[in-house]
Amino acid sequence: MDKLAIRGGKRLQGEIRISGAKNAALPILCASLLTGEPLYLDNLPRLNDISTTLTLLGHIGVQIALDERGGVELHGAALTRLEAPYSLVKTMRASILVLGPMLARCGEARVSLPGGCAIGSRPVDLHIKGLQAMGAQIDIEHGYILARAGRLRGARIFMDTVTVTGTENLMMAATLASGTTILENAAREPEVVDLADCLIAMGADIRGAGSDTITIQGVERLHAAHYRIMPDRIESGTYLVAAAMTGGAITLRDSCPQALDAVIEKLREAGAVIHCDHDSIDLTAPARLRAVNLRTAPYPAFPTDMQAQFMALNATAEGVGRVTETIFENRFMHVQEMRRLGAQIEIEGNTALVRGVEHLQGATVMATDLRASASLVLAALVAEGETVIERIYHIDRGYECIEEKLNQLGASVRRIH
Ligand code: EPZ
């Protein structure tokens, strides 16, 4: 398995281009199942999770043509296997996003239950409950979700937990249902809005995406569309923290500042100076940042996917920072590894108290999940000496060409095959 070797102490400066958003691309790729006409997508990030999703869609019967400009054409004219096998779902739980579209378009679907994952149990009960409310017959047998339906019927669905992919799955299913569906307590993430905008380009009738109530008027069919995936706000946030921790100065191009208010606010509180244009972000940081307190919550509050990165920021900042994780029950896997680098972190329930130290020391550490791995890269950038991060396939799921982008900013990162 690949490793990353990082020599710390380099100040990051310069500019990089932000890739398309993984968590917008995943549901949007699955939207290709909703129509027999072609869906052309631009700005698709080159990530393992994207290739896993393309493999799954190909397995179902979608014709896929990648072009050299990072675009892809998907054509779901003839879907042959209405299933998502365990072998694919076990590597990526977001595979559950084929359930709603397959059921809405074809009336049946056989999707493996996603297992648990490093950051928590992550059930899909709200996805299932919502589809049942729309008239689906759903049984769970031998680890698979077996779903059948005539034409789905519009329904009023209240989700008692804010769920991003749950909102996306039900929104996609509702586009072809008969009548009106109202999703209440819906997720407001920008990636949900990006999916809604793509579905509207395909002929769907959706109102309220981005608010906590989304209304979908079902239509007979969706049609061909050409859509550009939004920039990745978590990739953007990760590089901003990297530059801030090294006392650097960077510019992000093709980014989405308007989707990063909570993160930019926290970075300013830590002492970074940030200027935003409509698709670029400039950051300049002092030699040492101030520790910040944060509490994760659904958008527009501070994103859980940036929690580990700010834990790394607090590890070498001035003072004590309090980090509270409210979304997932086990999203502190990076703490143990950061302690190996010399971080002073105490955990009390779902809150971590991080006492900033002047310097971390390089060591060998192990990645456990996508954003935890990213936080270890950030810590390694400021640690004395060399840090080797093992199992970096986690990182390759969500960060396109991470070593190239970091080295372009002056870091010293080497991939060991
Ligand atoms: C999405 O996961 C993201 N993944 C995650 O990003 C992100 O961390 C998460 O939203 C929260 O923002 C994608 O969009 C592909 P949830 P998702 O359903 O949809 C509970 C990354 O790093 N819940 O919003 O799976 C659940 O247990 C990944 O890119 C139920 O109880 O998360 C959790 O506590 C990691 N029942 C909470 O809701 C359900 O049916 C939020 O989960 C569904 C969820």
CA of 164 to the centre of ligand 1 (A): 6
Compute CA distances 201 → 11, 180, 194, 303, 378, whole Å. 43, 19, 11, 28, 38
Return the pLDDT at 86. 94
Note the pLDDT tens digit of each residue in 280-335: 999 999 999 999 999 999 999 999 999 999 999 999 999 999 999 999 988 999 99
Atom of ligand 1 nearest to the CA of 398: 29
Judged against a pLDDT cut of 90, whether residue 121 lies above it is answered with: no
User: Does the pLDDT value for residue 114 go beyond 90?
Assistant: no
**CB of 370 sitting under 6 A from ligand 1:** yes
Q: What is the mean pLDDT of residues 96-120?
A: 91
Distance 187 CA to ligand 1 centre (A): 10
Choosing from 163, 168, 169, 235 the residue with most ligand 1 atoms within 8 A of its CB, the one to mutate for a pocket test is 163
Evaluate: CB of 145 within 6 angstroms of ligand 1. no
137-194 pLDDT, tens per residue? 999 999 999 999 999 999 999 999 999 999 999 999 999 999 999 999 999 999 999 9
Residue of minimum CA distance from atom 18 in ligand 1: 163
Whether residue 157 has its Cβ less than 6 Å from ligand 1: no
331-386 pLDDT, tens digit each: 999 999 999 999 999 999 999 999 999 999 999 999 888 999 999 999 999 999 99
Residue 330's pLDDT is what? 85
Report whether residue 125 contacts ligand 1, using a CB cutoff of 6 Å. Answer: yes
Q: What is the three-state SS of the chain? A: CCEEEEECCCCCEEEEECCECHHHHHHHHHHHHHCCCEEEEECCCCCHHHHHHHHHHHHHCCEEEECCCCCEEEECCCCCCCEECHHHHCCCHHHHHHHHHHHHHHCEEEEECCCCECCECCCCHHHHHHHHHCCCEEEEECCEEEEECCCCECCEEECCCCCHHHHHHHHHHHCCCECEEEEECCCCCHHHHHHHHHHHHCCCEEECECECEEEEECCCCCCCEEEECCECHHHHHHHHHHHHHCCCEEEEECCCHHHCHHHHHHHHHCCCEEEECCCCEEEECCCCCECCCEECCCCCCCCHHHHHHHHHHHHCCECEEEEECCCCCCCCHHHHHHHHCCCEEEEECCEEEEECCCCCECCEEECCCHHHHHHHHHHHHHCECEEEEECCHHHHCCCCCHHHHHHHCCCEEEEEC
pLDDT digits (tens, 9 = 90+) for 18-42: 999 999 999 999 999 999 999 999 9
Closest Cα to atom 42 of ligand 1 = 163
Judge if the beta carbon of residue 166 lies within 6 A of ligand 1: yes
Cβ 24 vs Cβ 415: under 8 Å: no
Q: Is the CB of 168 under 6 A from ligand 1?
A: no
Rounded average pLDDT over 69-97: 94
Least confident among 9-13, 65-69, 154-158, 222-226:
65-69
Cα of 261 vs centre of ligand 1, distance in Å, is: 20
| pLDDT averaged over every residue in the chain | 96
Q: What spacing in Å lies between the alpha carbon of 327 and ligand 1's midpoint?
A: 8
Ligand 1 lined by 174 (C-beta under 6 Å) = no
Q: Which atom of ligand 1 is nearest to the CA of 121?
A: 27
Task: Please identify, by atom number, the ligand 1 atom nearest to the C-alpha of residue 328.
Answer: 34
Is the CB of 170 within 6 Å of ligand 1? no
Active site residues: 117
Residue with CA at minimum distance from ligand 1 atom 25: 165
pLDDT of 116 strictly over 80: no
Task: Ligand 1 pocket test: pick from 50, 122, 234, 399 the residue with the most ligand atoms within 8 Å of its Cβ.
Answer: 122
